[in-house]
Structure 1
Amino acid sequence: TVVYNRVWIPDNEEVWQSAEITKNYKAGDRFLHVQLEDGTELNYPVDPAALPPLRNPDILVGENDLTALSYLHEPAVLHNLKIRFVESRLIYTYSGIILVAINPYKQLPIYGDAIIHAYSGQNMGDMDPHIFAVAEEAYKQMARNNKNQSIIVSGESGAGKTVSARYTMRYFATVSKSSSNAHVEDKVLASNPITEAVGNAKTTRNDNSSRFGKYTEISFDQNYQIIGANMRTYLLEKSRVVFQVAYWQWK
């Protein structure tokens, strides 16, 4: 039995489709003979300088760390994230020290105090990928090395950056066992209506899109308990103040 490699080929609807090579490719060939997963056979035109990316072995599909994949390219990343989200309902995946999050657009029961305590004191790689694991790593490094730590939350409009930042602050407030500041994330969020009034807009992809950057600084005392927070804003899209794009509007 001949076992051929599987590759990813571009698709207008699925973005990428998995296909199996059914005939040995030789240097100089203008077409790659492949069979799609639905059984369709086709001759896919190829450029010898840019052959289709190879697909990872099935045993690696669904890995919780993208760096564990044999082939780390766009279709491999998208497929792995899709499998974890669609089949396992998992929204978090590691990529080394980076946490990749998919916005489920609904509340999930994975942010309660019991989950926070489960991640407290654990190493980042010992638990399933989670925003709490990233927060715990930052908190642990701060306490161990007595140095400031930064967590960068980035993503496109509607990706869930604001919510992710809120869960991070909730984690710090809980594990630091702060009393009067136990709800620091609520106090920071209470200021949101002020900044959102002039900095948020309704877009085609997000009804409440932040059109500015936000830097939140959380201060701890010598016992590593929260004593306050400071928020700074930057990079406001000032053009929106005087001009409104069709179908886009200020909140």
Structure 2
Amino acid sequence: MTNPTTERLDGRRAVVTGASKGTGAAIASRLRDRGATVLSVARTRPPGAGLFRRADLTTPEGIATVAEGVRQELGGVDILVHTLGGSSAPPGGFAVLTDRDWDTELRLNLLAAVRLDRTLLPAMLEAGRGAVVHVSSIQRRLPLYDGTLGYAAAKAALTTYSKGLANEVGPRGVRVNVVSPGFIRTSAADALIERMSAAHRCSPEQALSRLMDSLGGIPLGRPAEPAEVAELVAFLVSDRAAAITGGEYTIDGGTVPTVG
């Protein structure tokens, strides 16, 4: 039975992907702080992770590893937060992206979530309860064509898929929402700046300025912190958000210039 007055997650079993660093690690930590038992999933073990499964979710074998971890470590799942994502494609616009680049971006940023949902949601539907959060990106509305076009397209697909999934499983007690961060202060963001710096033969500061300009600036005056994204996710999977499903929640310091 839900309790709309509490943010506590005592007794809830959660899976958090992409949990080795940055936003994913912050989300896993916040859910643990709220009382959830968390199984962290990543390619490398994060410090202090507790329950952990090493898995490459871009492969069927990786998905099977997570399913095994859920059975052995949790005995089921009530919360799924899919944070995994990123881009390793070269900068330079659409013409430099090969079929292999597109395949990599789609497997990491879309198909990993689809396959994991297909594996874990049936148990939630059978139980008649559950909360899912997919982490997308404001790039689904503000694509950076120079550096991360494939990533942006995949995240747009993830957001649309999430809305359809929410409509399908909502009547059976499972809530699905999307969190779309803007520029977050993470090591992945630093890596993107380094790639852009090398490609354009400019300083990291100039590359950062170029990146910020391409986003249209951040009215708040700073990037968000991983812990701030984690706070939003923790709310969405709690009973305080029991009536919220099919939504997209943007956390970008005002970067997106429209209300949506």
TM-score, length-normalised on structure 2? 0.28
Q: Return the TM-score normalized by structure 1.
A: 0.29
* Structure holding more strand per residue: 1
- RCO higher in 1 or 2 (8 Å CA, sep ≥ 6)? 2
The higher radius of gyration belongs to 1
